Amino acid sequence: MTAPCVDKTLPALVLDGKTLTPRAIVTAARGDNHGACPRVVIAEDARVLTSEVRAFLEAHWLTDEAPAMYGINTGLGRLRDVRIGAADLERYQSYIINSHSAGAGEPLSEEESRATIICRVNALVKGYSGIRLACLDRLLDMLNSNIHPIIPRQGSVGASGDLAPLAHLVCVMVGHERAEAIYQGKRMPARDAFTAAGLEPAFALKPKDVLAMINGSTISLACAALALEDAKMLATTADITLALSLEAVRGELAAFDPRIHAARNSDTQLQVAENVRAIVAGSERMTEAARAIQLRDEQRPGGTYSPRIQDAYSLRCAPQVHGAARDGLAFAETLLTREANAATDNPLIFPDGDGGYDVL
């Protein structure tokens, strides 16, 4: 498969935190048959919202006088009651990524790492995390420059989110000395990749940046979106294979009559039957005459011949099976679309209706 690469002539994918679909994720992560991917940008209103929330956070919550707020000026997990002074908040960001980047195993593929960046940025532009816009721009600069981070595949516990693998993403983003990326087909130190792409090799983190970037099931979502697209392709291939199998055995077409499947009250089952009928339309092998068993008289059991009444269950009832599988895929797509446009962080920041914000 051709490695994904951004084609700036294609219409850009615009992230607004509301309308991202699994199909759009795959298109921007995997590209077309030649690996050509669209650029990814942030919607202007989402940029404004992200900046407004961050400005309030910096003006009111990054001082020693601010109330204790989880992850903003406190430790994480069992250290949630440990207050971190304002002077140490910036340095604390590096502690988080160093302690959490503990993944192992083979790295994610380039398309999986691209999908991860897309999903994470889309979640963060909803404006509930207080992250700096500069962080999101840095991630998209990576993506649009074809810098694909090396992220170990194993290490997520799936509870608070994909903390460990996402910490590896942050390591690449900041140009950590041990972080690596793939650029133009070569694996290299992340700093070298940024330099080769004409970007700054290092990026400074500020308070709340890291927690916002690692606190979510984003890699699980990204991989699931890619898997869903593959499964949908398999469902289409299964219908084609079924039609070719029927053609090979001179199968009966009556089992795919739309009245049968409409009576079952299943739209997906009806669609599969319609797909098969469309593929075999005009077939010279799937006629009543062609279905007659082509045997010489002496080869027929008992010297008699009985016309075939129905094909085997595995062929006749395939629309019922394929249709149920398509129902499952539709359900998965609904869940992934919801997750792709969800805020996944802790804490979340909400307008209080009086010009300020609440941390929950």
pLDDT in tens, 315-327: 999 999 999 999 9
Whether 327 is covered by a domain: the verdict is yes
- Which residue type occupies 343? A
Model's pTM, two decimal places?
Answer: 0.93
Nearest to 155 by CA among 169, 166, 144: 166
Domain of 147 in residue numbering reads as: 5-217+344-359
Note whether residue 322 is domain-resident. Answer: yes
> Could you tell me if 13 and 42 lie in one domain?
yes
In degrees, to the nearest 5, what angle opens at C-alpha 106 toward C-alphas 103 and 110?
A: 100
Mean pLDDT of 222-235: 98
In this structure, are 145 and 285 located in the same domain?
Answer: no
Helices (H), 160-265: 163-174, 190-196, 209-214, 218-248, 258-263
Residue 305: the pLDDT is 53
pLDDT, residue 158, reads: 72
Residue 103 placed within a domain: yes
Q: Are 224 and 336 in contact (CB under 8 A)?
A: yes
The reported pLDDT for the residue numbered 68 is 96
In a domain, 222, yes or no: no
Query: Residue 186 in 3-state DSSP?
Result: strand
Same domain flag for 290 and 208: no
Distance between CA atoms of 94 and 176, rounded to whole angstroms?
10
Domain count, the chain: 2
Each residue of 32-50: pLDDT tens digit? Answer: 989 999 999 999 999 999 9
Separation in Å, CA 99 to CA 113, 127, 178: 21, 26, 14
Task: Tell me the average pLDDT across 248-255.
Answer: 90
Q: Which two tokens stand for residue 360?
A: 């929950």
In a domain, 224, yes or no: no
Residues 329 and 353 reside in one and the same domain: no
Catalytic residue among 70, 92, 305, 357: 70
- Are 139 and 252 in the same domain? no
- Angle, helices 318-340/22-30, rounded to nearest 10 degrees: 80
Average pLDDT over residues 333-342: 98
| 303 in the same domain as 241 | yes
For the question of residue 70 being annotated catalytic, the response is: yes
The Cα 280–Cα 319 span in angstroms is: 15
Q: Quick check: 307 pLDDT over 70? A: no
Residues 213, 150, single domain; the answer is yes
Q: pLDDT exceeding 70 applies to what percent of the chain? A: 94
Choose between 253 and 240: higher pLDDT: 240
Q: Is residue 241 part of a domain?
A: yes
- Are residues 173 and 275 both part of a single domain? no
Q: For the residues 121-130, what does the mean pLDDT come to?
A: 98
> Domain for residue 339, yes or no?
no
**pLDDT at residue 293, rounded to an integer:** 58
3-state DSSP assignment of residue 76: coil
149 touches 111 (CB < 8 A) = no
What Cα–Cα distance (Å) separates residue 54 from each residue in 146, 220, 268, 357? 28, 27, 46, 11
223 within some domain: no
Q: Report phi then psi at 32, rounded to 5.
A: -85, -165
Residue with tokens 């160093």: 98
Q: State the chain's mean pLDDT as an integer.
A: 94
Same domain, 114 and 180: yes
CATH of the domain at 119: 1.10.275.10
Q: Are residues 310 and 350 in the same domain?
A: no
Do 354 and 302 lie in one domain? The reply is no
Q: What distance in Å separates the CA atoms of residue 40 and residue 137, rounded to the nearest whole number?
A: 10
Instruction: Give the N- to C-terminal CA distance of the chain in Å, as an integer.
Output: 44
Name the residue type at position 236. Answer: T
- In contact, 62 and 89? CB cutoff 8 Å: yes
Mean pLDDT of 214-233: 97
User: For the range 67-70, what are the long-range contacts, defined as Cβ-Cβ under 8 Å and sequence gap of 24 or more?
Assistant: 69/347, 69/359, 70/346, 70/347, 70/359
- Say whether both 294 and 353 belong to one domain: no
Instruction: Note whether 161 and 124 are within 8 A (CB).
Output: no
Model pLDDT for residues 184-208, shown as the tens digit of each residue: 999 999 999 999 999 999 999 999 9
The answer to whether the CB of 29 falls within 8 A of the CB of 222 is: yes
